[in-house]
Homo-oligomer: A and B are copies of this chain.
């Protein structure tokens, strides 16, 4: 717990993280593995806070289709009920005899109206039924207008298709040690003008008070003109590094978390995209190195990249003990 003493005074503190330094006010890691902040918001009505549009954009395709289908059924049940209340005889052309069949026909008349198919065998007679049918057709069209936008939004929303290695490695590197993580773009999209930034957060004890402290981790190369293949971020643990002189125990006591931030311009979206992840001390591996992910194809005319080799590493002895 004597962490403060062993902490490298030459390491550059990061003041602009936007994260709180009072470690008694916040709990757990700052960011989850998927890059979302580990924070819960209270005190404003749920719907206002939710941002329905972005919630729909984040749903999986199956959930999205399920919600649409259930809403479709729900809508038709609702309108079928209204047609029954108005009176089934205001729906002209029904052939049903039993009550169940009548409800069924009202339900499918509703579906034909909502989707604007309108076969017309069944059709509304009288003001009330005609009015509800007109309202339903309008509702249907607005719903599909909405869905059109949501579908487009789901597809067109720019995002970074980047996978990160499961672990952060302490790797023997140029007579010393470096901390490395690896990333790879996993679709045909590729990024240009990419920038990466690592920030370390630690809890330290200062005058008997536990505080969060933030450090920027310098990268050997922090920019890439293009990101078409795997990229390994290398933080050399030298005298400027906050990891300098730290032991595994310190790193764990400090509940160390490495925040990863990657920004680039995606050519397919023609838009800046941002990717983020975080590694906590439990995801560190001491003494290992990443194995290559790509090799030439058979006739040496192109390169083959193995996306599933992203996490491949082998043990490698470190020159310094952690």
Contacts and interface: CB of A to CB of B under 8 A. Distances in A.
Nearest to A125: B95
Name the residue among A43, A159, A224 with the largest chain B CB count within 10 angstroms. Answer: A43
A12 interface: no
A152 B147 CA distance: 9
A20 B230 CA distance: 9
Contacts of A69: 138
A105 B187 CA distance: 43
Interface in A77-118: 92-93, 95, 104-105, 108, 111-113, 115-118
A297 interface: yes
Nearest to A275: B267
B189 A229 contact: no
Nearest to A52: B155
A72 B142 CA distance: 12
A251 B276 CA distance: 41
A123 interface: yes
Q: Which of A50, A112, A120, A133 has the most CB of B within 10 A?
A: A112
Interface stretch (A167-175, A237-245, A304-312, A313-321): A304-312
Contacts of A93: 121
Interface of A: 14-20, 24-28, 37-44, 48-51, 53-55, 57, 68-69, 72, 76, 92-93, 95, 104-105, 108, 111-113, 115-121, 123-125, 127, 130-131, 133-134, 137-138, 140-142, 144-153, 155-159, 161, 186-190, 192, 194, 197, 199, 221, 223-229, 231, 261, 265, 267-274, 276, 292, 294-297, 299-309
B137 A28 contact: no
A233 to B, nearest CB: 12
Contact of A272 (B42, B142, B265, B268): B265
Nearest to A56: B155
Nearest to A268: B54
A215 to B, nearest CB: 13
A192 B261 contact: yes
Contacts of A25: 292, 294-296, 303
Contact of A226 (B18, B92, B308): B18
A152 B148 contact: yes
Contact of A151 (B131, B145, B274, B305): B145
Given A27-B300, A43-B306, A116-B118, 17 more contacts: A14-B225, A24-B296, A38-B302, A39-B302, A51-B187, A54-B268, A55-B188, A57-B268, A93-B121, A111-B133, A112-B117, A115-B140, A117-B117, A118-B118, A145-B151, A148-B149, A197-B225
